[in-house]
């Protein structure tokens, strides 16, 4: 019970930190937007010009930022979204969470995109290696499983290459 309550306090704290972070983001974005909008020339034909909407958005964000700060300072919460469009990030799970697996998955995706955009390594090779590496970290390191993942990676990457580059003559990275 006590540990449960401690957890609740901890999530409460994380939630608050995230909210403060969000407010900071809102203010920073509003400031950048307002500054950039100030640099824009007027449009040739309409009175609003390219700057009006960004400027309005900046004012709106700043006002909402102030309102959120006041609410936090008064000790109130900001509430939480009634629906979440990405599930499984709220930490309320009965199973073990694997934060490092998640971080590695993201890193691998970034690395894959990075290597692809260099355009010097063939698509089929990048994709094969990526599919294998990303598949490997999403489960236990057992010889048999890794072999299956490897086979899948080869088949999938070659199929994609044939389908998209050969059949559809797409200009793959």
Partner 1 sequence: MTRFTRRTVIAGAAAAAALPLAGRGARAAGFPEKPIRTIIPIAPGGQTDVLARLLQQTIDKNKLLPQPLVIVNNAAAGGTAGTRTVRDAEADGYTIGMFHMGLLTAPAMGVVDYDHTAFEMIGQVGRTPIGLGVTATSRFKTIQDLIAEAKAKPDTITVAMNIGLLPHFVPLMFQQDAGIRLRYVQSGGGAVRLKSLLGNHTEVSLFASSEFVLYKEQGIKPLVMFSESRVPDLPDVPTAREIGVKTVFEERVMAFAPKGTPRDRLDVVAKALQAALDDPEVVSRLTALGIERRFVDGAKLRATLDELKGPIVTVGQEVRKAQAEQAAAEKKP
Partner 2 sequence: MTLTDAFIHLFTMKAFLVMVSGVGLGVLVGVLPGITAGMLMALTLPFTYHMSSVDAITLLISMFVGGVSGGLITATLMRIPGEPNSVMTCLDGYQLAKKGFPGRALGLGNASSVVGGALSWLALVLMAPPIASAAVALGPFENFALIMMALILISSLSEGSFLKGLSAGLLGMLVAFPGIDESSGIMRLTFGSAELEGGFNSLPVILGMFAVSQVVADALNIDEKTDAIEASMNGMFVTLRDYVLHGWNMLRSSLIGIWIGILPGVGATIASIVAYTTARNLSKTPDAFGRGSEEAIVASESANNATTGGTLIPLLTLGIAGGLTDSILLGALVIHNLQPGPLLFKNNPEIVNTIFATHLVAHLVMFAMMTFGISIFARLMKLPKAFILPMVIVFSVLGAFALNSRSFDIWVMLGFGVLGILLEAAKVPLAPFVVGLVLAPVAESELRAGLMASAGSFSPLVERPIALTVLVISAGLFVWPFIREWRRARLA
Of these partners, partner 2, partner 1, none, which one is at the site of residue 111 (CB under 5 to 8 Å by kind)? none
Binding mask 19-58 for partner 1 (x = CB under 8 A): ----------------------xxxxxxx-x---------
Rounded to a whole number of angstroms, the minimum distance from the CB of residue 3 to partner 2 is: 20
Cα distance between residue 40 and residue 32, in whole Å: 13
| Alpha-carbon separation of residue 24 from 18, 30, 43, 67 (angstroms) | 10, 10, 32, 13
Of these partners, partner 2, partner 1, none, which one is at the site of residue 161 (CB under 5 to 8 Å by kind)? partner 1
Q: Which of 31, 152, 154, 161 binds partner 2 (CB under 8 A)?
A: 152
Using CA atoms in the order 54, 58, 64, 65, what is the torsion angle rounded to 10 degrees?
Answer: 140
Of these partners, partner 1, partner 2, none, which one is at the site of residue 4 (CB under 5 to 8 Å by kind)? none
3-class state of residue 114 by DSSP: helix
Cα distance between residue 130 and residue 117, in whole Å: 14
Would you count residue 85 as binding partner 2 (CB under 8 A)? Answer: yes
Q: How far apart are the first and last CA of the chain?
A: 54
Give the footprint of partner 2 on residues 102-131 (CB under 8 A).
102, 104-106, 108-110, 112-113, 116-117, 119, 127, 130-131
Give φ, ψ of 163 to 5 degrees: -65, -50
Cα distance between residue 105 and residue 10, in whole Å: 26
Would you count residue 164 as binding partner 2 (CB under 8 A)? Answer: yes
Query: Closer to partner 1 at the Cβ: 4 or 47?
Result: 47
3-class state of residue 150 by DSSP: helix
Residues forming the site for partner 1 (CB under 8 A):
41-47, 49, 119-120, 122-125, 158, 161-162, 165-167, 169, 171
């Amino acid at each position: 019970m006590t540990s449960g309550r401690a957890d609740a306090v901890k999530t409460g704290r994380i939630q608050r930190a995230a909210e403060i972070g969000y407010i900071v983001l809102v203010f920073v974005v509003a400031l950048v937007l307002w500054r950039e909008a100030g640099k824009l020339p007027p449009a040739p034909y309409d009175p609003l010009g390219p700057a009006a909407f960004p400027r309005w958005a900046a004012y709106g964000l700043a006002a909402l930022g102030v309102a959120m700060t006041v609410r936090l300072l008064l000790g109130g919460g900001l509430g939480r979204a009634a629906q979440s469009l990405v599930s499984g990030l709220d930490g309320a799970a009965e199973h073990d969470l694997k934060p490092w697996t998640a971080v590695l998955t993201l890193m691998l995706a970034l690395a894959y995109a990075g290597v692809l955009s260099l355009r010097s390594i063939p698509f089929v090779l990048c994709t094969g290696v990526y599919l294998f590496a990303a598949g490997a970290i999403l489960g236990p390191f057992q010889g048999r499983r890794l072999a299956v993942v490897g086979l899948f990676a080869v088949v999938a990457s070659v199929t994609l290459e044939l389908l998209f580059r050969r059949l559809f003559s797409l200009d793959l990275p």
